Amino acid sequence: MYEQSLKVAVIGAGMAGLLTARELKREAHRVIVFEKSISLGGTWVYDPLVETDPLGLDPAREIVHSSLYRSLRVNLPRRLMGFLDYPFSLKEGGDPREFPGHEEVLRYLEDFARDFGLVELIRFGHEVVRVERANEVSHEWVVESRTRGSESEMEEEAFEAVVVCMDIWPGMQVHSHNYRTPEPFQNQIVVLIGNGPSAHDILREISYVAKEVHQALRASDVHFKKLENRNNIWQHSVIKCATEDGKVVFQDGSFVYADVIIHCTGFKYHFPFLRTNGVVSVDDNCVGPLYKHFDYENWLVTQLGLPPLEEWREEMYFYALKKITSHDDDEYWDTWEANYPAREIVHSSLYRSLRVNLPRFGHKVVRVERVNEVSHKWVVESRIRGSESEEMEEEAFEAVVVCMDIWPGMEVHSHNYRTPEPFQNQIVVLIGNGPSAHDILREISYVAKEVHQALRASDVHFKKLENRNNIWQHSVIKCATEDGKVVFQDGSFVYADVIIHCTGYCHKCDFN
């Protein structure tokens, strides 16, 4: 027993918050639990509402806390899921299954809170927006919370200790899209996810200022190692988890306490304006109808003397490594140039063609449509940025070239999946292989026309599942194109209506 009774704030009345409150209360501390919603249970409170952005990328979206889907059953047997001194046992009228539905977990948590007198400790509808030391010498913390409701109010209160009970990694996270310069990473311990061109560039320049850089790579043969010739760069396999004490654990068993995670995981393009009525289509990576079909891969081989693509990729990897390990930019480019003197030609010709197009900066294309059914002309409508009255401009062209990637179907994250009905008769691609992927795949397969699961494991190849006539397995997705085609790395493809991302969950706390 702690000899002093402290005033403690617990943030969150989910499973972790309730258990923490009980333990603190047992030790005679004075506990207040802040819970932003109006009920306890956190993740286990099913919410039929989903977020306004189904992929959960728009920061301005309305956030829904729970990720539960209606049919979710626990993935641990009761005996393991319950607390040691408060078994998760079957109650009258409850779900008798060893792996019960989510409602049973909520009931269990409600009973737990009631039996230990925790409900009266919870301030429902209080969202914590700031936790800060009261001043430099004090041991107290100020907790500022916002009350829910039509007239939301701010409240401040001092505590001697604060316990944060939400799934969380406390460090900073940034996507390479929002990376500009290395200076903010001075002396930081950085985990960088990815192995593409921006990953290599950022890794290299950050490594000159950061204390340590740890690159997480997806390739199956990657294991923890320090890069030769560099004393502050390590390679690891993919991240397994990131925990609330700032630890990032990799699948190869290595770990690091990091300050920041940089996601160099690629970019997503979107062009919702193209209404071609099927006139422009993409088949096997070939956009048609085009004036001349252009075989980029073959062109590289024949015109520029570069090796075929597979070999080229290996070379690229080698040079990328060299680029990372080299202290000297010139040395890197010199080696590249000596091997591929044509490199400059590729670069400059692409750049020249960009300039002669005289780009209309600040023009966002919102519609591309045939002028009429008989014309060969296309209307391009654009919105001019910065103009006072959202000025629109229309102009006719004889041809339109779209130079952005797009997949026109619906995309949803499993966090925003609730029931299978919306997927009736749809062709669904489902990414992932975790518990929610399995649950959703199974129940969707009863109503969907086809379900195609994209799996990351290196030994996965295209196959139909035995005993099921509408489920296929594929390797990871290579690309998704504007005609609705989803192409997998194993060469298989499907024209799909929807992609469901069962790629895990991410919780964040903005208040500290």
Ligand X SMILES: Cc1cc2nc3c(=O)[nH]c(=O)nc-3n(C[C@H](O)[C@H](O)[C@H](O)COP(=O)(O)OP(=O)(O)OC[C@H]3O[C@@H](n4cnc5c(N)ncnc54)[C@H](O)[C@@H]3O)c2cc1C
For residue 443, state whether it binds ligand X (rule: CB under 6 A): no
Helix (H, G, I), strand (E, B) or coil at 120: helix
Nearer to ligand X, 24 or 74 (CB): 74
Token reading at 106: 């909520």
Nearer to ligand X, 13 or 487 (CB): 13
For residue 11, state whether it binds ligand X (rule: CB under 6 A): yes
Nearer to ligand X, 78 or 323 (CB): 78
Nearer to ligand X, 42 or 54 (CB): 42
For residue 53, state whether it binds ligand X (rule: CB under 6 A): no
For residue 411, state whether it binds ligand X (rule: CB under 6 A): no
From the list 7-15, 185-193, 290-298, 441-449, the region that binds ligand X by CB under 6 A is: 7-15
What is the DSSP pairing of strand 450-454 with strand 255-257?
unpaired
CB 376 within 8 A of CB 283: no
Nearer to ligand X, 92 or 510 (CB): 510
Nearer to ligand X, 18 or 233 (CB): 18
For residue 127, state whether it binds ligand X (rule: CB under 6 A): yes
For residue 113, state whether it binds ligand X (rule: CB under 6 A): no
What is the DSSP pairing of strand 485-488 with strand 493-495?
antiparallel
**Please, what's the b/e burial string for 25-37 (b: 16 or more CB within 10 A of its CB; e: otherwise)?**
beeebebbbbbbb
Residue 294 to residues 280, 298, 300, 336, 458, Cα–Cα distance (Å): 16, 9, 11, 26, 31
For residue 505, state whether it binds ligand X (rule: CB under 6 A): yes
For residue 42, state whether it binds ligand X (rule: CB under 6 A): yes
Helix (H, G, I), strand (E, B) or coil at 136: coil
H-type alpha helices, 270-366: 296-304, 309-325, 329-339, 343-356
Choice from 61, 65, 175, 218 touching ligand X (CB under 6 A): 65
Nearer to ligand X, 333 or 505 (CB): 505
Q: Which residues have a Cβ under 8 Å from the Cβ of 105 and sit 6 or more positions away?
A: 41, 44, 74, 81, 88
Q: Which amino acid is at 427?
A: I
For residue 104, state whether it binds ligand X (rule: CB under 6 A): no
Q: Which of positions 260-279 make contact with ligand X (CB under 6 A)?
A: none
Phi, psi values for residue 81, rounded to 5°: -75, -30
For residue 9, state whether it binds ligand X (rule: CB under 6 A): no
Helix (H, G, I), strand (E, B) or coil at 111: helix
What is the total count of residues that contact ligand X (CB under 6 A)? Answer: 30
For residue 457, state whether it binds ligand X (rule: CB under 6 A): no
From the list 33-41, 213-221, 282-290, 454-462, the region that binds ligand X by CB under 6 A is: 33-41
Q: Which of positions 368-397 make contact with ligand X (CB under 6 A)?
A: none
DSSP state of 83: B
For residue 37, state whether it binds ligand X (rule: CB under 6 A): yes
From the list 40-48, 189-197, 357-365, 367-375, the region that binds ligand X by CB under 6 A is: 40-48
How open is the CA angle 460-466-469, to the nearest 5 degrees?
Answer: 110
Nearer to ligand X, 15 or 50 (CB): 15
Token reading at 477: 């997705």
Residue with tokens 């397969």, as numbered in its chain: 445
Q: For the purposes of burial, counting CB atoms within 10 Å of the CB of 243, is it exposed (0-12), middle (13-18) or buried (19 or more)?
A: middle
Helix (H, G, I), strand (E, B) or coil at 481: coil
For residue 420, state whether it binds ligand X (rule: CB under 6 A): no
Choice from 50, 118, 128, 217 touching ligand X (CB under 6 A): 128
Strand ranges for 432-470 from DSSP E: 450-454, 463-464
What is the DSSP pairing of strand 30-35 with strand 463-464?
unpaired
Which DSSP string do the residues of 343-360 spell out, in sequence order?
Answer: HHHHHHHHHHHHHHT---
Choice from 64, 81, 172, 227 touching ligand X (CB under 6 A): 81
Choice from 9, 22, 32, 34 touching ligand X (CB under 6 A): 34
For residue 14, state whether it binds ligand X (rule: CB under 6 A): yes
From the list 12-20, 184-192, 207-215, 449-457, the region that binds ligand X by CB under 6 A is: 12-20
Nearer to ligand X, 12 or 194 (CB): 12
Choice from 17, 54, 194, 420 touching ligand X (CB under 6 A): 17
For residue 68, state whether it binds ligand X (rule: CB under 6 A): yes
DSSP state of 60: T
164: left (phi over 0), alpha (psi -120 to 50) or beta: beta
- Per-residue binding string, ligand X, 144-183, x by CB under 6 A, is ---------------------xxx----------------
From the list 9-17, 215-223, 266-274, 478-486, the region that binds ligand X by CB under 6 A is: 9-17
Is the peptide bond preceding residue 54 cis, with omega within 30 degrees of 0? no
Nearer to ligand X, 165 or 193 (CB): 165
Token reading at 210: 């950061």
Q: Which residues contact ligand X (rule: CB under 6 A)?
A: 11-17, 34-37, 42-44, 65, 67-68, 72, 74-76, 81, 127-128, 165-167, 436, 505, 511
